[in-house]
Amino acid sequence: MRLFCIFVALATIGKHIDTAAKTLENGGLVAIPTETVYGLAANALNEAAVLKIFEAKQRPFFDPLIIHIASLTDVSKYAELTDARLKSLAEGFWPGPLTLLLPKKSIVPDLVTSGLPQVAVRVPKHELTLELLRKVNFPLAAPSANPFGYVSPTEPDHVNKQLGDKVDYILDGGKCEVGLESTIVGVEEEVVCVYRLGGLSIEEIEKEIGKVELRLNLSSDPKAPGQLKNHYAPGKPLFIGDLEVLKQKNQSKKIAAITFGDKLISDVSYVYNLSEKGETKEAAVNLFSVLRKIDETDADVIIVEPLPDEGLGRAINDRLKRAEFKS
Ligand code: TXA
Ligand code: MG
């Protein structure tokens, strides 16, 4: 998989906020670090720049983009944050891995929201990117910085390998601290709904505002098209289930096994443990880079057991299900 990557021209990776700001002001693309995953950013108010994002990712236009802002006080420039529950989530968890779907103001181009009346907004928790956002006078539209459908990047090199020829600058913020995309929350008919599981757990959200409803459609859903069945997929077939059973089923193949905690497996070609300590937070940080590492091996298949279905474990299981091989 991805052998062509070696021919991709590489972008400059650096920590220069001024270079990043200038590039964005001139309508260019900059990969930005966030606590969740790296984003492929452009000036959200410049349609020509936003178009470049769709082209670079080969992303369909029906899949809208999240806009990133520097602080809660900026939200009113672009959207209406009137619902009291969403407001307390923003106050409690921004900056952080939470995206809110809010009624958009007309200043936000329809291209950003794919014509939807709501815009997805978040304040990322990464000092470099916050500094950049304070420097420019526009929000940054940024999907994850990976080709459409592939797993998200959690390190500058991940971006460079796949999109190095399409991005003008990569702002180096190191390895992402959370490793999973933001949790997406909105309100429908007065009900607070979670559309994508992510770096902020349902438990934390419910502690703040009480019960929420999960609307995680597996098929193409206009609310969160990123929830398409084949999203977050690595280049090799991935199977979820009991590791020993899956090992037997794939006897003739080169197997890469993903384990968690003290789970052991022998007689397979590769073993990657997401967290030897059995911590879901650590597993989240490692998940996407492990999938990328396996893609670079000669393994034929990936086998993995679901994690305990609580906290970040739920979001990890969600990503695994979407990465699962579908015949
Ligand atoms: O953590 C994250 O959210 C990362 C970092 C870079 O901020 N971004 C990210 O963006 O994961 P992306 O484009 O890969 O996923 C955003 C998801 C997509 O599933 C998209 O369909 C949904 O958010 N979305 C964006 N705007 C929306 C809108 N107006 N209405 C419904 N869904 C929306
Ligand atoms: Mg994405």
How many A from CA of 65 to the centre of ligand 1?
5
How is 46-101 classified by DSSP, letter by letter? -HHHHHHHHHHHT--TTS--EEE-S-GGGHHHHB----HHHHHHHHHH-SSSEEEE
Say if residue 40's pLDDT is above 60. Answer: yes
Residue 98, pLDDT > 80, answer yes
Q: If you count DSSP H runs as helices and E runs as strands, how many of each does the chain have, helices first?
A: 11, 15
- Give the residue whose CA is nearest to atom 23 of ligand 1: 224
| pLDDT value of position 223 | 52
CB 190 within 8 A of CB 82: no
Relative to beta strand 255-259, strand 270-273 is parallel
Q: Sort residue 167 into left (φ over 0), alpha (ψ -120 to 50) or beta.
A: beta
The pTM of the full predicted model, rounded to 2 decimals, is: 0.93
C-alpha 17 to ligand 1 mean position (Å)? 24
**Per DSSP, which regions of 123-208 are E strands?**
140-141, 169-171, 183-188, 191-196
- pLDDT 10s digits, 131-157: 999 999 999 999 999 999 999 999 999
Atom number of ligand 1 nearest to Cα 39: 6
The residues with which 186 forms a beta bridge, in sequence order, are 193
Q: What percent of the chain has pLDDT over 90?
A: 89
Among 73-82, 183-192, 214-223, where is mean pLDDT lowest? 214-223
> Closest ligand 1 atom, CA of 196?
19
The whole-number average pLDDT for the span 206-220 is: 84
